[in-house]
Amino acid sequence: MKSKKYFVLLVVALMSAILVACGGGNDDSGANADANDTDSENQNESAEVEGNENAELEGSVVIDGSGTVYPLMAILAEEYMINEQEGVSVEVSRAGTGAGFQRFLAENGTDFNNASREIKEEEQQLADELGMEVKELKVALDGLTFVINPENDWATELTQEDVVQMFLADGGIEKWSDINPDFPDTEVNRYGPNENHGTYEFFFDEVLEKQDLVDSVNLQQDYSTLVNLIAEDPNGIAFFGFGYYVNNQDKLQAVSIDFGEGAVAPSLDTIGEEADYAPFTRPVFTYLNVDNAKSKPEVLDFAKYVMNHINDFAGETGFAPIPDEEVQGFIDYLEGL
């Protein structure tokens, strides 16, 4: 009887030990499960972060302004939408620098304004009044180009003084023969972009030094109209950005300008701040609404794309590139937003 009692107690003790061992195993499994759950959550969070960084963007980017800068920004927009972000719509218009600033410096205005001149003091003041942070991004160098009809074989080379006097109200030039008696005794027909364009303002401010233009000058809003007018007028001469000449060489010829050391033809090699065509060289810009760049990822992403690829496309659209160190400075700024 006593031995049977001891046997029962021994069985109970063994069972208790087994249960404790099993219980301990369950506790370890629970801890491991918790750890595995935590690791899984961390991995999921990492995957989500990585996915957000590489996610396709959606939305729209709205750009207006300079007709001169338009071809460059248009090709960048097209490349961006095709090769970078198919879900982002980039709209590029060309109202002209001044008219573009009016759209840009407004409540719910455009994201960028292309400009063939620097922002004016009164425009910057308006931005300040609106509480808008604006960043100037220099994108290329352009050469103010004078163009004539292909049939014009007498005015292929002119001096800087010739083209200035030709467009001045008191320049004393009515006929081509007033410039050179060997030229035809026919009236000079002058054309150019109107006051909405930064090219007009650059010409008026820097080339004519704010002297009045001749009354007979035909000023147009659309650059394609200017191209067609010269293409149809053997006695015409017009001014605009080098890119519009490059894209219409079958209809126009460029005038080589003598700045005092021999005639220089505008080209990607001669256009530059220290190059031979320097007196008629100017920087062109796009202005960024920094507040929009901070609140709309697609705007900032497009700005970065522009500055990372600007020199790749400048030459294709008739612009000389800006120095790489200047480009990198803008990229660093954008990366810091």
- Rounded CA gap, 268 and 143, in Å? 9
The domain segmentation of the chain, as residue ranges, is: 61-140+283-335, 142-281
Cα separation of the two ends of the chain: 89
Same fold, 61-140+283-335 and 142-281: yes
Q: Note the pTM of the prediction, 2 decimals.
A: 0.82
The pLDDT tens digits along the chain (337 residues) read: 434 333 333 333 433 443 334 444 444 434 344 444 444 444 444 333 333 444 699 999 999 999 999 999 999 999 999 999 999 999 999 999 999 999 999 999 999 999 999 999 999 999 999 999 999 999 999 999 999 999 999 999 999 999 999 999 999 999 999 999 999 999 999 999 999 999 999 999 999 999 999 999 999 999 999 999 999 999 999 999 999 999 999 999 999 999 999 999 999 999 988 899 999 999 999 999 999 999 999 999 999 999 999 999 999 999 999 999 999 999 999 999 9
Nearest Cα to 163, choosing from 151, 148, 185? 148
Residues 6+ apart with CB under 8 A from 186: 175, 176, 177, 235
Enter the CATH code of domain 142-281.
Answer: 3.40.190.10
| Residue 174, both tokens | 């009515």
Using DSSP bridges, classify how beta strands 256-258 and 263-264 pair: parallel, antiparallel or unpaired: antiparallel
Residues 6+ apart with CB under 8 A from 128: none
Burial track 280-310 (b if 16+ CB lie within 10 A, e otherwise): bbbbbbbbbbbebbeebbbbbbbbbbbbebb
Query: Top-level CATH class of 61-140+283-335?
Result: alpha beta
Classify 262 as helix, strand or coil: coil
